[in-house]
Amino acid sequence: MKKFLLLFCCLFCFAQAAFAQDGGLYYCQKQNYIGDRPISMYIVLLSPNSDYDLKLTFGNGDINDKKKVVDFAKEAGANVAMNASYFKQDKGTPIGVSIVDGKLITGPLMNRIVFGIDKRGNCYIDRVSLDGEIWLGAQNSSTLIKTINQPIVSSDGAYLYNYHWGSQTPNTAEDYYWHVAVLKNKIVEVSSNSVSIPDRGYAVVVKKSLVERPFTCGDLVKYYYKLSPKEWCKFEYAFAGGPNLVTNGEKDVDFQSQNFDPFFARVKTARSAIGIKSDGTVILLAVDGKQKGVSEGASLFDMADLMIDLGAQQAMNLDGGSSTQIAIDGQMMNVPTNKYGAKVTNAVVITRKNQKFLFKN
């Protein structure tokens, strides 16, 4: 692989568009223009049936342990790594769906688009929702489950939290929500404020007006949930981003429906994106920003055009700005807007087939 890294560096120096190749993994750096604005593009193509696997990693720690992309790459022994999900700046929790080794770590939020990988290595981009209900105590009626291990953005359902979120439920307005700790399917604590999340249990936060009556310790709790479309329940890896960039080969920047504002869509900045070609080839694309006269960044609409030029049939935006980082053989290849590269929640990595690395389950 090192010889290809050397070739990549040569491509970088001379701004060539030709691709280095290794067992179905291709990559290059290319200098381009959007109008009269220069950009530096970093492109990775992963062919189907290659010698490599595409995965999501949170490193060797929990989901709140932020790291630089090069550190994720080194921990995973990855040939290629790029930043993935948006995340809460204070905790590091990824925003939206994340699945690792077939386990749902965080649930959907704000109707944002998701990139998924099934057990055969096939890749998909789709909207994913969560269907579920919970019965608290002696209630005869259930409450809809909004999502899992996510910040509270609305009050129209119950939020579930386990140890992946952290040690405490999120703070809420006093006397507005119930915070319920559950262990072995029984309530062990009820409060109007944040509660501790049991190590081998979970906690529920729900608006008081959605439930019939207060609960008491010892009351039974039952729930179920599943992802929709149902196929996603069996996916090995998934991570959310947003918004869409390309749908069925056409530009489709639907930022408003995924709770992104117009400024975010139009500002020229560093960006990261992922896409899929019609033959199943996966495209990773990073564009540097804030380098006057060298690489001045891209809007979401620019990223959609670039992805279409690369042959994407489906594509979605990922976290960008100071998060945009792409590493090859453990070395940072782009120039992050943060001098040393910002710490991020997770990374999409490309490793040799059947290579194992740890995740705290």
Cβ neighbourhood burial of 37 (10 Å; 0-12, 13-18, 19+): middle
Cβ neighbours of residue 67 under 8 Å, at least 6 residues apart?
Answer: 59, 75, 343, 344
What does the alpha-carbon distance between residue 203 and residue 122 come to, in Å, rounded to a whole number? 34
What does the alpha-carbon distance between residue 318 and residue 244 come to, in Å, rounded to a whole number? 10
Q: What is the largest CA-CA distance in the chain?
A: 70
Q: What is the pLDDT of residue 356?
A: 61
Q: What is the pLDDT of residue 339?
A: 79
Q: What is the pLDDT of residue 292?
A: 95
What does the alpha-carbon distance between residue 45 and residue 283 come to, in Å, rounded to a whole number? 5
| Helix extents (H) in the chain | 2-14, 69-76, 262-266, 300-309
The residues spanned by each domain of the chain are 2-126+236-352, 130-228
Name the DSSP letter for residue 257: G
Task: Looking at the structure, give the CATH architecture of the domain made up of residues 130-228.
Answer: Sandwich (2.60)
Residues of the chain falling short of pLDDT 50: 1-17, 358-361
Encoded tokens for 312 = 């994407």
Q: What is the pLDDT of residue 2?
A: 43
